[in-house]
């Protein structure tokens, strides 16, 4: 079925949003020559999004990333989440936030807010969670703000799962990536964190200086072998809870740049390792590994099972808030 796209526009940026999954379906911005072009992977229509895996452009939750064994204990009670990746829960389990129609009053100028209420026990999570995401375009910047409240103690971790390709298509391996993070969470073959953050020094996971996206992806380092490329949660430098620089990406041919600032403790850098050529994009091409990348600002994966990680617990009377600011430009 056709998509009813809500457009947010400025003189430097155009962003398309749909209610299904509170999803970004287009981000258009000019290159260094002033030619406008697409910078995201997108599908042809709503039915394609309903039938596809990969979470393209969606708000994912209740819990972004993974929960080991699809279970956690909170205040002495064990909760079992419906698994959807082997024994684990990914992005909230099956029928997560990406698979619902969100409500909205429509755009208000260059901003739109979408809302979804997840009932108590949804996919096994406790508490009725009232979630909202607001997309705002200001000049060359796209701001994404998530909020949520609950009526029972619960855990929550929301993010946006847009796949970026600043060249507008083809391989993203020539993009130059810089991550403002001196530590990363090590993972096992199930992409689950195995312990406290470790320094990136001397490893192919070090992006503190700009590195070509494809330069190290085939390195034999055990962390890259474990997840078939880059798919790690980086600990963003600077005070947690404060908006700070997390990443900068440059696409050398078009000159387009993308900078991310966030108040979240981590950012998942993902090189689309699970895309295998079966996903047909809006332009009729198919998507494969390294045809795009994701920068998912979030709390740490599996934090409910790691008391030493920053807490993702939300209690009644509190408000969950997270922010991701994407700034576009040219170099």
d(CA 245, CA 26): 24
Give the pLDDT confidence score for residue 265 in this predicted structure: 98
pLDDT tens by residue, 125-179: 999 999 999 999 999 999 999 999 999 999 999 999 999 999 999 999 999 999 9
Q: Scan for tokens 């009813």, then name that residue.
A: 4
- Of 91, 259, 296, 306, the active-site residue reads 296
What is the spatial order of strands in the sheet that 183-184 belongs to? 198-199, 183-184, 231-235, 266-270, 294-298
Q: Largest Cα–Cα distance in the chain?
A: 59
What's the mean pLDDT in 185-213?
97
DSSP state of 306: -
pTM for the whole structure? 0.97
Say which residues have a Cβ less than 8 Å from residue 59's Cβ, sequence separation at least 6.
Answer: 21, 22, 23, 97, 98, 102, 114, 131, 133, 146, 158, 159, 160, 161
d(CA 193, CA 178): 22
Tokens representing 316?
A: 């009644």
pLDDT band, residue 1 (cuts 50/70/90): low
Whether the pLDDT of residue 237 is over 70: the answer is: yes
Tokens representing 226?
A: 């474990």
Fold for 6-330, please state it: Beta-galactosidase; Chain A, domain 5 (2.70.98)
Closest of 318, 322, 304 to residue 129, by C-alpha: 318
Whether the pLDDT of residue 186 is over 70: the answer is: yes
Give the pLDDT confidence score for residue 169 in this predicted structure: 93
- Of 161, 183, 232, 306, the active-site residue reads 161
d(CA 123, CA 126): 9
Give the pLDDT confidence score for residue 3 in this predicted structure: 85
pLDDT tens by residue, 285-299: 999 999 999 999 999
296 catalytic per annotation: yes
What SS3 state is found at 29?
strand
Give the pLDDT confidence score for residue 2 in this predicted structure: 67
Whether the pLDDT of residue 284 is over 60: the answer is: yes
pLDDT tens by residue, 189-199: 999 999 999 99
116 catalytic per annotation: no
Closest of 56, 51, 48 to residue 21, by C-alpha: 56
Whether the pLDDT of residue 120 is over 80: the answer is: yes
Residue 49's H or E segment, with its range, is helix 46-51
């Amino acid at each position: 079925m056709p998509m009813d796209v809500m457009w947010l526009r400025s003189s430097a940026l155009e962003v398309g949003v749909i209610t299904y999954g509170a999803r970004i379906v287009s981000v258009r911005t000019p290159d260094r020559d002033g030619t406008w072009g697409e910078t995201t992977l997108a599908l042809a229509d709503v039915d394609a999004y309903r039938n596809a895996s990969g979470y393209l452009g969606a708000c994912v939750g209740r819990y972004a990333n993974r929960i080991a064994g699809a279970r956690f204990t909170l205040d002495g009670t064990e909760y079992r989440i419906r698994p959807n990746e082997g024994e684990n829960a990914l992005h909230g389990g099956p029928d997560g936030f990406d698979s619902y129609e969100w409500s909205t009053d429509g755009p208000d100028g260059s901003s739109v807010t979408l809302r979804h209420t997840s009932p108590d026990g949804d996919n096994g999570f406790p508490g009725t969670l009232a979630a909202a995401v607001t997309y705002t375009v200001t000049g060359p910047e796209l701001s994404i703000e998530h909020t949520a409240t609950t009526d029972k103690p619960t855990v929550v971790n929301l993010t946006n799962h847009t796949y970026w390709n600043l060249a507008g298509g083809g391989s993203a391996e020539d993009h130059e990536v810089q991550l403002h993070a001196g530590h990363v969470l090590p993972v096992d073959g199930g992409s689950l964190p195995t312990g406290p953050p470790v320094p990136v020094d001397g490893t192919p996971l070090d992006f503190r200086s700009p590195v070509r996206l494809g330069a190290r992806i085939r390195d034999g380092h055990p962390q890259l072998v474990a997840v078939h490329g880059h798919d790690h949660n980086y600990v963003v430098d600077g005070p947690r809870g404060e908006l700070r620089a997390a990443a900068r990406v440059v696409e050398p041919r078009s000159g387009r740049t993308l900078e991310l600032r966030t108040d979240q403790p981590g950012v998942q850098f993902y090189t689309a390792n699970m895309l295998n050529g079966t996903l047909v994009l809006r332009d009729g091409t198919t998507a494969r590994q390294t045809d795009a990348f994701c920068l998912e600002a979030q709390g740490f994966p599996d934090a409910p099972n790691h008391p030493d990680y920053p807490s993702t617990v939300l209690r009644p009377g509190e408000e969950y808030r997270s922010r991701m600011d994407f700034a576009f430009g040219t170099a």
